């Protein structure tokens, strides 16, 4: 990965001389674990360009991350397995501290030589981390000559290692992952309305209200699929059968539809559905060729006519943002809409950004990841950035919207 273009307000890593310096890199190694093993190492791989750059420059590398939501010290949420994976990927030895901070860590850092790597234990083992505690922030800062934030996935959190310590380290920079995310998402936010298509889906309207509102002020077309489409259809008086709709948000959906109308946004809802009799992977797919569903069926995917409609809108787009699968793509009978949208975006000439953990996974499973302009790995952080919210992890780097 090459270094992305310069943003005046984001200090970049490749402008710094790191040789012999203690470089504290906050990464996002909040990886999925199963029985003490890392099940998906994408987040670790995503940090490699930054970590390798520091090592090539002769830094004394200190790596910090959180993992999960421990209440105090929890051996099940140790970063040791992630450290082993990283050691394998870097083909280097990693010294694993058994605590995130303390006398032991101070001594390990003092003894660190150029090109050596120390990985701190899960920063959330310290309760001050999530409280953005001043003392802990200063303790982390005392370990570092340079603070590098490459934890985009945690950039929406004001915690000691993602934000607080930034005030106490003079030299700081965004890692390559953070820089690439900021660049791509900024470009997305700056895109012109003409030819801007956003596709939203996923499980719940309630997770996405802020994004929908934001997008209604930006896009030419807003295509809605996934379970949240049914709440919108219910708001329009369609029969949604046995689909799970968020009754508490039918009114929200109604007002979002009104906003779309007022702003002249082309809001597109499913016109047909892939349905099942039960919420079950083995339940056979029944295509319902109507926006209305029969009472005994529930919607698990967009139907073929909806997919064709979405494909047409995407084909001519200049900018595409996608968040949220079109159906229960985890079940093959209901993956058609999601994989179809993934392929349509990959096949378009648009500048395309896909965000959201499940959506990015769907793009990977559809085998089209390399044809998407930017896969945003930040999950909640990507959405908050797109919503226009404050990003404490970026603010601490001196970045301003
Ligand atoms: P992302 O992680 O990309 O932001 P979400 O977490 O919002 O996406 O939504 C992903 C989940 O939505 C998937 O697990 C998928 O199974 C679920 N989903 C999508 N459509 C439906 C549907 N019609 N019924 C039930 N679940 C759905
Ligand atoms: Mg998700």
Which residue range(s) make up the domain with 164?
Answer: 13-182
| 108-151 pLDDT, tens digit each | 999 999 999 999 999 999 999 999 999 999 999 999 999 999 99
Distance 115 CA to ligand 2 centre (A): 37
Give residue 207's pLDDT.
87
- At 341, list the tokens: 């949208």
Distance 356 CA to ligand 2 centre (A): 6
Query: Does 204 qualify as catalytic in the annotation?
Result: yes
Check whether residue 252 and residue 152 sit in a common domain: no
pLDDT < 70 regions, the chain: 1-8
- At 262, list the tokens: 């007022």
Nearest CA to ligand 1 atom 16: 328
Angle between helix 250-263 and helix 228-235 axes, rounded to 10 deg: 80
Check whether residue 161 and residue 245 sit in a common domain: no
Nearest CA to ligand 1 atom 14: 328
226 lines ligand 1 (CB under 6 A): yes
Question: Which of 195, 172, 201 is closest to 341 using CA atoms?
Answer: 201
Q: What is the end-to-end Cα distance of the chain in Å, rounded?
A: 25
Could you tell me if residue 79 is inside a domain? yes
Give residue 401's pLDDT.
83
Catalytic residue among 7, 92, 187, 204: 204
Check whether residue 143 and residue 195 sit in a common domain: no
Distance 283 CA to ligand 1 centre (A): 18
Check whether residue 163 and residue 287 sit in a common domain: no
**Other C-beta atoms lying within 10 Å of the C-beta of residue 174:** 28
As residues whose CB is below 5 A from the ion ligand 2, the structure lists 357-358
Residue with tokens 């030419």: 220
Check whether residue 263 and residue 164 sit in a common domain: no
Which of 163, 182, 201 is at the close of a domain? Answer: 182
Give residue 6's pLDDT.
45
Could you tell me if residue 343 is inside a domain? yes
Could you tell me if residue 1 is inside a domain? no
Contact between 155 and 162 (Cβ < 8 Å): yes
Could you tell me if residue 4 is inside a domain? no
328 lines ligand 1 (CB under 6 A): yes
Angle between helix 357-365 and helix 336-347 axes, rounded to 10 deg: 80
Question: Which of 229, 384, 213, 222 is closest to 317 using CA atoms?
Answer: 222
Distance 83 CA to ligand 1 centre (A): 31
Q: What are phi and psi of 224, to 5 degrees?
A: -120, 125
199 lines ligand 1 (CB under 6 A): no
Euclidean distance between CA atoms 289 and 234, whole angstroms: 17
359 lines ligand 1 (CB under 6 A): yes
Distance 132 CA to ligand 2 centre (A): 26
Q: If DSSP states are collapsed to H, E and C, what string results for 23-57?
A: EEEECCCCCCEECCEECCCHHHHHCHHHHHHHHHC
DSSP alpha helix (H) spans, 57-120: 80-90, 103-111
202 lines ligand 1 (CB under 6 A): yes
Question: Could you give the number of structural domains in the chain?
Answer: 2
Check whether residue 154 and residue 272 sit in a common domain: no
Euclidean distance between CA atoms 57 and 18, whole angstroms: 6
Contact between 397 and 149 (Cβ < 8 Å): yes
Give residue 2's pLDDT.
45
Q: Tell me the residue length of the chain.
A: 401
Euclidean distance between CA atoms 9 and 14, whole angstroms: 14
| Residue 12: DSSP 8-state | B
For the CA atoms of 95, 101, 107, 108, the dihedral, rounded to the nearest 10 degrees, stands at 10
Euclidean distance between CA atoms 307 and 345, whole angstroms: 12
The CATH number that applies at residue 66 is 3.40.50.1260
Task: Classify residue 247 by burial, with Cβ atoms within 10 Å: 0-12, 13-18, 19+.
Answer: exposed
pTM: 0.92
- Ligand 1 atom nearest the C-alpha of 301 is 23
Which of 158, 182, 206 is at the close of a domain? Answer: 182
49 lines ligand 1 (CB under 6 A): no
330 lines ligand 1 (CB under 6 A): yes
380 lines ligand 1 (CB under 6 A): no
DSSP alpha helix (H) spans, 132-224: 134-142, 176-189, 209-216
- Ligand 1 atom nearest the C-alpha of 325 is 19
Contact between 355 and 323 (Cβ < 8 Å): yes
Contact between 353 and 320 (Cβ < 8 Å): yes
Distance 325 CA to ligand 1 centre (A): 5
Could you tell me if residue 394 is inside a domain? no
């Amino acid at each position: 990965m090459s270094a992305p273009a310069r943003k005046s307000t984001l200090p970049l890593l490749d402008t710094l001389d790191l040789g012999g310096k203690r470089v504290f890199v906050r990464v996002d190694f909040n990886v999925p674990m199963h029985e003490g093993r890392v099940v998906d190492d994408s987040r670790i791989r995503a940090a490699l360009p930054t970590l390798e750059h520091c090592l090539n420059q002769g830094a004394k590398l200190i790596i910090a991350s959180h993992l999960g939501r421990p209440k105090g010290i929890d051996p099940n949420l140790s970063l040791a397995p992630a450290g082993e994976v990283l050691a394998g990927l870097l083909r280097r030895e990693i010294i694993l501290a058994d605590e995130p901070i303390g006398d032991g860590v101070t001594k390990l850092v003092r003894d660190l030589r150029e090109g050596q790597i120390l990985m701190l234990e899960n920063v959330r083992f310290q309760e001050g981390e999530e409280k953005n505690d001043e003392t802990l922030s200063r303790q982390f800062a005392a370990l570092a000559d340079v603070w590098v934030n490459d934890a985009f996935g945690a950039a929406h959190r004001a915690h000691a290692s993602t934000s607080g310590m930034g005030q106490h380290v003079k030299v700081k920079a965004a890692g390559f992952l953070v820089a690439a995310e900021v660049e791509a998402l900024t470009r997305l936010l700056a895109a012109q309305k003409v030819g801007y298509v956003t596709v939203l889906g996923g499980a719940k309207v309630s997770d996405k209200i802020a994004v929908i509102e934001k997008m209604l002020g930006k896009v030419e077309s807003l295509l809605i699929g996934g379970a949240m489409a049914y709440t919108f259809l219910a708001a329009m008086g369609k029969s949604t059968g046995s689909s799970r709709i968020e009754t508490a948000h039918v009114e929200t959906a109604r007002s979002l539809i009104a906003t779309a109308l007022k702003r002249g946004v082309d809001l597109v809802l499913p016109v047909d559905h892939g349905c099942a009799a039960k919420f079950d992977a083995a339940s056979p797919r029944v295509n319902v060729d109507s926006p209305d569903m029969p009472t005994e069926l529930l919607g698990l995917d967009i139907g073929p006519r909806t997919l064709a409609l979405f494909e047409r809108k995407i084909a001519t787009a200049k900018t595409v943002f996608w968040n949220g699968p079109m159906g229960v793509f985890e079940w093959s009978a209901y993956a058609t809409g999601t994989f179809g949208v993934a392929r349509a975006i990959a096949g378009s000439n648009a500048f395309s950004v896909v965000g959201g953990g499940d959506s990015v996974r769907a793009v990977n499973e559809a085998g089209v990841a390399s044809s998407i302009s930017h896969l945003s790995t930040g999950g909640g952080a990507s959405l908050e950035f797109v919503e226009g919210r404050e990003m404490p992890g970026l603010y601490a780097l001196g970045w301003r919207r």
